[in-house]
Amino acid sequence: MKPNVVLIMADSLAPQLMGSYGSTAGATPNLDALAQNGVIFDRAYCNSPLCTPSRASMMTGRYVSEIGAYDNVSSFSSEVPTLNHAFKRAGYQTVLIGKMHFGGYDQYHGFDQRLAMETDYSTGYNPLRPPYDWTLPSAPNPGGGAWMAASYVNDKAWDNYTHHWDRDAAIHKEAIRFFSEKNDNDPPFFCCVSYHHPHNPFYAPKEIRERFRENNFTLPSVPSDMNDRYGIMDKWLNDFHSQPEYFDRIMAADNLRWLYETYCGMVYDLDCHAGEIIKLLKAKGLDKNTIIVFTSDHGDMLGHRGMVQKRCFYEYSVRTPLIFSYPDHFPAGLRVKQTVSLLDLFPTFASLAGTSVPQELPGISLLPEAAAKSEIKRLQGIPDGRIVFAEYLGEGVHAPCFMAVAGNYKYIRVHGFEEMFFDLENDPEELENQIASHKYSGIIGELRSSVLKQFNPDAIAVQALENQRNRNYILEAHKK
Ligand SMILES: [Ca+2]
């Protein structure tokens, strides 16, 4: 009997705020228990730290430059197979409950059914979304305004912003109904329940926020010369996010406390929802034959390095939680240190469903790691030092940007402009760019070659700019 797969997704959840990843905030008791009974991937990365591209790349198992899903507006072709098609070929029902932020007309991409569908993001290709143009000077987001750095300041503007809260409640209601109606002799299903929390703007009801009042958060702080440490990509993104205007207000101790209390309140709400799903699956007897996977599309900088939002390749932005739970099949409490990425979900799910992938994909099945500890040595494991890549080809930057991470080393390439290199073990806050350090020249060389072997930055720049030009042409047409 094929196992059901339930993928629970957060949006913008930095794993660093979860108990199972070391946080003491206590925002994730249910997800921590899931991790304790399952396999937790310590070093999981998304492959493009922004909603639409991250999700498109996760769903297709391919890099966004290959499928044209560059930013939050661009679409990818309905002819690119997704992991849904793998499930469907194996006889699964495929259901999406909640958010997926697909760009373009195809809002299904192989999902049989969508419940609690987005109402605000992308209910079809909207050519009137603000255009992005890498050839224009660095500037604040033309369409973002209050959603950028301003939303990281406690100025009461968001005190009554209940949209994400309400939408998540609606998504959750559909999820509970869906699982309530399932029985263990039904055909297998793949169900993705995808919430908004803890995506900014930040709002949590007072009583939820106050749960975290006494917590001794380690709040981010930056050195006084932080401005000199920013690379070109940081400066572009800070401009795009209007970070310079709000930096002092964001980084004030009182404000950071509010930010972390509220963020944890949103994470807590998400955790309660996940907990109810897990409990319901158990009550229905579905837990024995259901794999639960938990992840997020990317994280949020939350003031680390003085930055906000995502889009960049620092740990708070590009890392994601990744937990697999399949009691009696996967080992309990296995912590995988190896670098993995969301591209690995497609091959993993295809092998769980017992079907093939459509073509050679860059990801690998994580099942060897998820199998019993004693079996790992026998199975073909993930080679040490595996390099994981990410791209950023969206709004706010002005050239293709790439990341390669292997072990504790991270290489960033802003094509045609700059390279950066960080030793995450000695410098977890990523404050010391070691690109010129002789000590690391060998590793830097290897990571640089790996990026240039994996991607063709010049060709990607041409494609991305052409895509922007075409969309701007259409936008102008619609304005007449
Ligand atoms: Ca997102």
Span 217-237, average pLDDT: 96
Residue 94 lies in a domain: yes
3-class DSSP state of 419:
strand
Residue 391's closest CA among 454, 475, 306?
A: 454
CB 140 within 8 A of CB 239: yes
pLDDT per residue as tens digits for the range 81-133: 999 999 999 999 999 999 998 888 889 999 999 999 876 554 445 655 666 89
Q: How many domains does the chain have?
A: 1
Q: How far apart are CA 458 and CA 456, in angstroms?
A: 6
> Rounded distance, CA 317 to CA 278, Å?
27
Domain membership of residue 121 (yes or no) is yes
pLDDT in tens, 380-427: 444 457 899 999 999 999 999 999 999 899 999 999 999 999 999 999
Helix (H, G, I), strand (E, B) or coil at 37: coil
* Percent of the chain surpassing pLDDT 90: 79
Q: Is residue 460 part of a domain?
A: no
DSSP state of 334: E
Number of Cα atoms under 13 Å in the Cβ half of residue 264: 29
Say if residues 280 and 179 touch (Cβ distance below 8 Å): yes
Q: Given this model, what pLDDT does residue 127 score?
A: 56
Give me 419's structure tokens: 């390279």
- How far does residue 85's CA lie from ligand 1's centre (Å)? 23
Residue 377 has pLDDT above 80, yes or no: no
Take residue 252 and report the two structure tokens written for it.
């004030």
Q: Which domain holds residue 28?
A: 4-382
Ligand 1 center to 5 CA (angstroms)? 22
Count of Cβ atoms closer than 10 Å to residue 158 Cβ:
19
272 C-alpha vs ligand 1 centroid, how far in Å? 20
Least confident among 5-14, 277-286, 323-332, 372-381? 372-381
pLDDT value, residue 121: 55
- Contacts with 2 (C-beta within 8 Å, 6 or more apart), sequence order: 90, 91, 92, 188, 353, 354
The two structure tokens encoding residue 254: 């009182």
CA of 202 to the centre of ligand 1 (A): 14
Geometric angle at alpha carbon 158, from 127 and 31, rounded to 5°: 90
Helices (H), 181-252: 206-209, 226-229, 232-240, 243-251
Whether 401 contacts 311, CB under 8 Å: no
Structure tokens at 415: 């094509």
Give the distance (Å) from ligand 1 centre to CA of residue 364.
23
The answer to whether residue 58 is domain-embedded is: yes
Are the CB atoms for 87 and 409 separated by under 8 Å? Answer: no
Spacing, Cα 142 to ligand 1 middle (Å): 19
Q: How do the residues of the chain divide into helix, strand and coil, expressed in percent and rounded to 5?
A: 40, 15, 45
Task: Report the alpha-carbon distance of residue 456 to residue 274 in Å, rounded.
Answer: 40
pLDDT in tens, 329-366: 888 888 988 889 999 999 999 999 999 999 999 998 88
458 lies in some domain:
no
| 181 exposure class (CB count in 10 Å sphere: 0-12, 13-18, 19+) | exposed
Q: What is the CATH number of the domain that holds 285?
A: 3.40.720.10
- Unique residue bearing structure tokens 């063709």: 456
Q: What is the mean pLDDT of the chain?
A: 92
Q: Within its chain, how far is the Cα of 267 from the centroid?
A: 14
Neighbours of 436 (CB within 10 A): 10
309-319 average pLDDT score:
98
Q: What is the pLDDT of residue 378?
A: 31
Distance (Å) from CA 477 to ligand 1 centroid = 29
Q: How confident is the model at residue 372 (pLDDT cuts 50, 70, 90)?
A: very low
Flag whether 433 is in a domain: no
Proportion of the chain above pLDDT 70, given as a percent: 94
Q: Is 168 helix (H, G, I), strand (E, B) or coil?
A: helix
The answer, as to whether pTM is greater than 0.85, is yes
- The residue among 138, 341, 131, 130 whose CA lies nearest residue 233 is 138
- State how far the Cα of 111 lies from the Cα of 93, in Å rounded to an integer: 8
Question: What pLDDT is stored for residue 220 in this prediction?
Answer: 96
Å from CA of 10 to ligand 1 middle: 8
381 Cα–ligand 1 center, Å: 31
97 φ/ψ angles, rounded to the nearest 5 degrees:
-115, 110
Using the mean position of ligand 1's atoms as its centre, give its distance from the Cα of residue 184 in Å.
Answer: 33
Residue 359 Cα to ligand 1 midpoint, Å, equals 27
State the pLDDT at residue 33: 97
* Cβ atoms 12, 200 nearer than 8 A: yes
**Could you tell me if residue 430 is inside a domain?**
no
Whether 184 is covered by a domain: the verdict is: yes
Give the three-state DSSP class for 161: coil
Side-chain half-sphere CA neighbours of 361 within 13 A? 30
For the ranges 4-13, 223-232, 251-260, 358-367, which has the lowest average pLDDT?
358-367
